[in-house]
Structure 1
């Protein structure tokens, strides 16, 4: 599932949820957002390969107020497939959020919009920063270049068209049934799906019934969007019946209210929140992960150098860098635009720039690293020069090596 983060998420390093951003796991930021949202019932779904490490984190390392539970699924399943395995644990409307999402949107703004309009789902889309996907290692030339056509009825904040992973050089068409119902459609080609959603409870029943729905983004969302203007599809898939019970309950509660609106009579109503006033990004490829790390390092309120780190007085650590716990850095070394994890040993006259070093890494004397990601327990031997490389967990780069755009893995 995490092939786009190869080799960072290989078994000899760590699962995606625990990849560090500014020396804290990605999962830390998602749990913090959910805690601020007031959500208390949290289920983390992990592939079996990450079960032990994520389980250890939430039981031993995590210091927040939430008490998340961990559910394990087989490798390489889609998000909807994963949700299907925990359908019996979902009793109410539910939030789906990716562990690689970082955003500064206050949770209540997103939740309040959903509560006010009470749609089938609310999805967060965002305008990516210009730098998104440009950070760090340049080796991932196969970065996620897929685009979407996203159609929005801006007056209702309504998502009415999605076509994922299309060729933007090709023509596309809109059904007349869509245009009759929504005559004013704004088509966007730069919006990105953040993979943050709030769904009605009955949607999990739909997922349970329709085994062909594997991906939320590619299957579930487009299906529900089409059901807003394709009555035959709505009835053929039985979605009108799934929504009916909740719709009737909703009508009883709202028809005598001043907030009652015609849209509540519709079986499916898809809402979009377009976030373009702050920071939002995903770390689902190596370049995007590096870009997120750079941003989080910049805004971090932690000490630039951990009090337990030992940094030689003749070493320079830039204000745009972080050095983790118990790391030792020898003399005449330069750290710029870089994040250094915990328990690392860095030798003399080392130059590190625009790079991420995770934990328990050894960098010998006279090494040069530029635009690199170095995973846990790796070792770079003396006088090596690496540019735009990714070094997998436990790998040893031999002395006096020179590499550009390389991936190293055991």
Structure 2
């Protein structure tokens, strides 16, 4: 299908001798990223329209927008590799039902029997629904300032496991106010 898009594609390879996460890879190419970024996992196969996630990103002026999906019926999916039982890792995903804002993200394995939510979260977001059945598609839209932040914070290796929880926690904290005094 022909489109009127005028695209310039730069192919950038990253050394695969190192064990790099997505955040690490973005940091390595950050000088080439001049605007907002759409990150799609190399194994993402779906009929989901990316138009929806991009429109949400723009409409809410979000710093990060991520795509979570309900799992497909596993009986219809053939997975290559050994046929042993595999226990999937579950995420606990908290969404503010009024704003669709992601307000909590953690691995279920981080909690034994009960989940404690920060009081600041419950005060700020009074209508939170926790999901344990959503799958992170590893599709993200990031504001360019997030890429710049990644460049300055070298301790983040992954988007989902480290960067997103950090940003979620920061949105609950009070903004830092700098005061300056006149002299003389």
Q: CA RMSD in A?
A: 2.8
Cα displacement (A) at 1:170: 2.6
2:72 is matched with which residue?
129
Count of paired positions: 176
Whether the 8 Å CA contact 1:147–1:167 is kept in 2: the answer is no
Cα distance, 1:79–1:141 mapped onto 2, change above 3 Å: same
1:150 aligns with 2:93: yes
1:193 is matched with which residue?
136
1:178 aligns with 2:145: no
1:358-378 residue CA offsets vs partner (Å, 9 max, x unmatched): xxxxxxxxxxxxxxxxxxxxx
2:7 is matched with which residue?
40
What TM-score, normalized to structure 2?
Answer: 0.84
CA distance in 1, matches of 2:110, 2:75: 20
CA distance in 1, matches of 2:171, 2:164: 11
CA distance in 1, matches of 2:63, 2:24: 19
Cα distance, 1:147–1:39 mapped onto 2, change above 3 Å: farther
1:70 is matched with which residue?
12
Whether the 8 Å CA contact 1:124–1:197 is kept in 2: the answer is yes
What TM-score, normalized to structure 1?
Answer: 0.39
Q: Which aligned pairs between 1:21-36 and structure 2 lie closer than 5 A?
A: none
Cα displacement (A) at 1:216: 0.5
Whether the 8 Å CA contact 1:151–1:162 is kept in 2: the answer is yes
Larger relative CO (CA 8 A, sep 6+): 1 or 2? Answer: 2
CA distance in 2, matches of 1:153, 1:191: 15
- Bigger-Rg structure (1/2): 1
1:227 is matched with which residue?
170
Cα displacement (A) at 1:173: 0.6
2:36 is matched with which residue?
93
CA distance in 1, matches of 2:171, 2:76: 34
1:208 aligns with 2:151: yes
CA distance in 2, matches of 1:193, 1:133: 19
Whether the 8 Å CA contact 1:122–1:198 is kept in 2: the answer is yes
Cα distance, 1:136–1:117 mapped onto 2, change above 3 Å: closer
Among 145, 159, 180, which residue is 2:102 paired with?
159
Q: Structure 2: any 5+ residue segments left out of the alignment?
A: 179-184
Q: Structure 1: any 5+ residue segments left out of the alignment?
A: 1-31, 42-66, 242-410
Q: Which is further off, 71-80 or 162-171?
A: 162-171
Structure number with the higher strand fraction is 1
